[in-house]
Structure 1
Amino acid sequence: MHALTLPLPAGDTWTRAEFEALPEDLPVRVSLIHGELVVSPRPRPIHQRIARRLATRIEEAAPGGWQVDTDVDVLLDDDETEAVEIAPDVVVYSTDHDPYERPIPADLVSLVVEVVSPSTKRKDRRSHPELYAEAGIRHFWRVETDQTAPAFAIYTYEIDDATGRYVATGVHHDRVSVTSPFDLDIELKPVRDR
C-alpha cells in the first residue's frame, strides 16, 4: 500500500486556492470545511451505483436549464479563511454553470443528494445538510440504504424561508413523486436493487 502525501497549507487553514490545487485523482475524497481539509475513504460500489442510478433518473426528468452530475465540488461558502467546498453524491445545478469549471457556486444549485454510508452517517444526516441549508440550496435529499437503515428510503427536504433550515417534505420507499425543484416521478426499485 502506498502512503498518501498531501501538501501542507501555507497558513493555519486551507485556502480555496490550495484546496483546488490538489490533484483530481486522489485515492480518497476530500472536502474543505471552514478551512479544514476533511479526508474520507472512497465509497463502496453499492453507494456509487445508487447515486449513479438516481442521478440518471433525475437527469432524464430534468427540464431544460438544469444539469445533473455526481461527486462534483460545490462551493458553499467563499470565506477567505474558512471556505466550505463539498462534493455531494448528486448535484442538480443550472446550465448557467460551465461543466468544465469547478467548483459549482451554491447559488446555481437547486438540489443536492447524499447517499448515506456507514462511515458517513453523521455527516450526511447532520453536518452536511446544515451547510447546504446555510448556503441556500433549496432542496436536499437523503438516501438511506439497507446498509444504514432498516429499509431503503429517500427523505426529501426543502428550506423553510422563515428559519433558513430544512423541513421534511416526505419519506419515499417505493417511489419519489415530487413537483419541486421540478416534476419528478422515480420508481425506486431499479435504483436500489443489486
Structure 2
Amino acid sequence: MSAVSDDGLDDEPAYRWPIPPPEGWTADDLDRIPGLPPHTELIDGSLVFMSPQTAFHARCMRLMENSLLQWAPDHLDVMREMAIKLDAKNRPEPDVLVFPLEANTGSKQTWYNAEDILLAVEVVSADSRERDREVKPRKYAAAGVPNFWRVEEDDSKGLPVVYVYELDPATKSYGLTGIFHERLKVSAPFDIEIDLTAIDRRPGGSSQG
C-alpha cells in the first residue's frame, strides 16, 4: 500500500520531465519525446501541458466540429484537436481546424501545415486565456491562417460567445469582424450558421442535463 502525503494524494514515484536542449524543443520533437501527456503543445520552443477539460469546453468543441462538418463544402475537411506546425519552434493544437481534403496525408499524421489551414478555432479555458486571446492569434496571423475564432463562455447564461477574426494580409494581423451571441452567421471561410444555444444538445436533437 502506498503512503499518503500531507496533501492527501498517494505518494508516487516522481515523473521525470523531459529536459529541453539549450535551444529549446522543435516541432518535430513532439513526435519523439516519450511519455508526453495528450495534447501537449509547443509554444516558442517550450512544452505546454493541458489542464483537465471542462464540460463546457468539450461540448463547445463538439458543437463547432459537428456544425462545421455539416456546412463545409465537399472539398474541405474538419478536424478536432490536431496540431499546426507554424514553424520550427511552434506547434500549437487548436480545438478545431478547417483545411482542404488534400492536406490529409494518412492515418499516422500528427500535424498540418499552417498554409493549409483556413480556420482555427480556440475554446478558451481558465488556464489558456492569455494564450488563446493573445499568443496564439498573433502566431496564427503571422503564419497566414486567414480565419480565427475565439470561443468564450458567457458566465451569466453558460452559452458560447464567438469572436470572429479575419486576416489582413497586408499587416499579417487579425481584425475583429463580429461578436456572436446565441447564433453565429458568417460567410468566411464559407457560408455557415450555428445555433450557439445548442451547446448541450445531442446531434439527434435531445438536450443533456
What is the deviation of 1:18? 2.0
Q: 1:192 to 1:160 in 2, by over 3 A?
A: farther
2:151 pairs with 1:131: no
Q: Following the alignment from structure 1 to structure 2, what is the Cα–Cα distance between the partners of residues 162 and 13? A: 31
Could you tell me which runs of 5 or more consecutive residues in structure 2 were left unpaired when the two chains were aligned. 1-9, 202-207
Shift of 1:175: 1.1
1:40, CA displacement in angstroms? Answer: 2.8
Which of 12, 16, 19 is 2:30 aligned to?
A: 19
Structure 1 residues 106-156: Cα deviation after superposition (integer angstroms, max 9, x where no partner): 111000111111221111111110011011000000111135999741010
1:1-194 equivalent positions in 2, closer than 5 A: 3-22=14-33, 26-27=36-37, 29-78=39-88, 83-98=89-104, 100=107, 101-147=109-155, 152-191=160-199
Separation of aligned partners in 2, 1:125 and 1:5: 31
Q: Percent identity?
A: 33
More strand by share: 1
Q: Give the deviation of 1:10 after TM superposition.
A: 4.3
Structure 1 residue 16 displacement after superposition: 2.6
On the 8 A contact 2:159/2:182 being kept in 1, the answer is no
Structure 1 pair 147–127 and aligned structure 2 pair: CA distance change class (3 A): farther
Query: Which AA in structure 2 matches 1:42?
Result: P
Distance 1:109 1:148 in 2: 33
**C-alpha contact (below 8 Å) 1:28/1:42 kept by paired residues:** no
- Kindly indicate whether the alpha-carbon contact (under 8 Å) linking 1:117 and 1:148 is maintained by their aligned counterparts in 2: no
Do the aligned partners of 1:14 and 1:35 also contact (CA within 8 Å) in 2?
A: yes
Distance 1:58 1:133 in 2: 21
- Mapped partners of 1:90, 1:143: distance in 2: 11
Q: SS of the residue aligned with 2:86?
A: strand
Q: Mark the CA change 1:148 to 1:77 in structure 2 (over 3 Å): closer, same or farther.
A: farther
Structure 1 gaps of 5+ residues are none
Rounded Cα–Cα distance in structure 2 between residues aligned with 1:162 and 1:17: 30
Task: Note the aligned Cα RMSD (angstroms).
Answer: 2.3
Once the two structures are superposed, residues 59-117 of structure 1 have per-residue CA deviations (whole angstroms, 9 ceiling, x without a partner) of 11000111111111111113xxxx21010011111111225212100111000111111
Question: What is the CA–CA distance in structure 1 between the aligned matches of 2:37 and 2:48, rounded to whole Å?
Answer: 14
Report the TM-score when normalising by structure 1. 0.87
